[in-house]
Amino acid sequence: MRLTFIGSGSAFTTDGNYHSNMLLESKRSGSKLLLDCGSDARRSLAERGLGHADIDAVYISHLHADHVGGLEWLGFRRKFDAACSRPKLYIGRPLVHDLWTHTLSGGMSSLQGEQARLDTFFDVEAIEDNGGFTWEDLYFRLVQTIHIMDGFYLAPSFGLLFEINSTRIFLTTDTQFAPEHLGKIYEQADIIFHDCETADAPSGVHAHYDKLKTLPDRYKRKMWLYHYQPGPLPDATSDGFKGFVEKGQAFDFNHK
């Protein structure tokens, strides 16, 4: 099993690093699961010689454009390619309605002779609270993260905890600095891919590097950092981290 960062940049990156979307590929079957599908997805995939027909399934963590902005492209391209079937869409149930109603329906609901729905384009598997999904015999548990407060409401956003050949992997997707919330997950994981803001002015909705480096060493030595802004990066290894993930960097796990 191989996990490749087809991009490792922030939502507004313009330096060619692309959004922080990831591709998980089974060496056994060749099946590919896209972890988030942001607006840059078609370009970041094309740079690797891949296109819509190569993506068998997609997981969506939350509804920001750097995570869902490529779904219109993927859905339309596969629908109108006779050689393709609907890709599987794994998504937390609290996100399903808003993904269609507030994000995709404006461009995708009207088809010639047909009123489309989300399941017109995707084979939707809505994941219940405290649940997960299985892909290629691997179980992925959704982990609620603290990303955005929508007024008095915590907007749904989910990281993933999964295991490949006894290696427990935690992917934050997007989260604020919240060790009191995620500490138990940090403890369980063998490797952590953590979003990391490097901007001079912290946004407050991502874990900033200056805060992450205050974590205990036992956490930092598990952490690869991604979702960073363009420009010079801190010396993460000197601060105890595994480092910053580069675009195209792949992680091979000893699993078919």
Tell me what percent of the residues of the chain surpass a pLDDT of 90: 94
> Is there a domain that residue 224 lies in?
yes
Rounded to two decimals, what is the model's pTM? 0.96
Phi and psi at 164, nearest 5°, equal: -125, 115
> Is there a domain that residue 256 lies in?
no
Q: How far apart are CA 186 and CA 173, in angstroms?
A: 14
Q: In which band, very low, low, confident or very high, does the pLDDT at 184 lie, cut at 50, 70 and 90? A: very high
Residue ranges making up the domain that contains 133: 2-246
Identify any residues that bridge with 161 across adjacent strands, giving them in sequence order: 141, 170
For 137, left (φ over 0), alpha (ψ -120 to 50), or beta? left
> In this predicted structure, what is the pLDDT of residue 232?
95
CA separation, residue 67 to residues 36, 55, 61, 158 (Å): 5, 15, 7, 12
> Is there a domain that residue 199 lies in?
yes
Q: pLDDT tens digit string along 36-80?
A: 999 999 999 999 999 999 999 999 999 999 999 999 999 999 999
C-alpha count within 13 angstroms, C-beta hemisphere, residue 112? 3
Q: How far apart are CA 46 and CA 33, in angstroms?
A: 16
Q: Does residue 169 surpass a pLDDT of 90?
A: yes
> Is there a domain that residue 253 lies in?
no
> In this predicted structure, what is the pLDDT of residue 256?
47
Q: Does residue 200 surpass a pLDDT of 90?
A: yes
> In this predicted structure, what is the pLDDT of residue 49?
97
CATH number at residue 31: 3.60.15.10
Q: Does residue 114 surpass a pLDDT of 90?
A: no
> Is there a domain that residue 92 lies in?
yes
Count of structural domains, the chain: 1
Beta-strand relationship, 22-25 and 2-5 = antiparallel
> In this predicted structure, what is the pLDDT of residue 62?
98
Range 231-247 average pLDDT: 97
Give me 74's structure tokens: 């993927």
Give me 124's structure tokens: 């939707």
Q: Does residue 157 surpass a pLDDT of 60?
A: yes
Q: Which of 174, 185, 251, 249 is nearest to 219 (CA)?
A: 185
Task: Check: CB of residue 157 under 8 Å from CB of residue 94.
Answer: no
Q: In which band, very low, low, confident or very high, does the pLDDT at 113 lie, cut at 50, 70 and 90? A: confident
Range 148-173 average pLDDT: 95
Compute the mean pLDDT over every residue in the chain, rounded to the nearest whole number. 96
Phi and psi at 167, nearest 5°, equal: -100, 115
Q: DSSP characters for 47-86?
A: TTT--GGG--EEEE---SHHHHTTHHHHHHHHHT-TT--P
> Is there a domain that residue 60 lies in?
yes
Q: How far apart are CA 105 and CA 87, in angstroms?
A: 18
Altogether, the residues listed in the chain come to a count of: 256
Beta-strand relationship, 114-115 and 138-144 = unpaired
> In this predicted structure, what is the pLDDT of residue 254?
74
> Is there a domain that residue 63 lies in?
yes
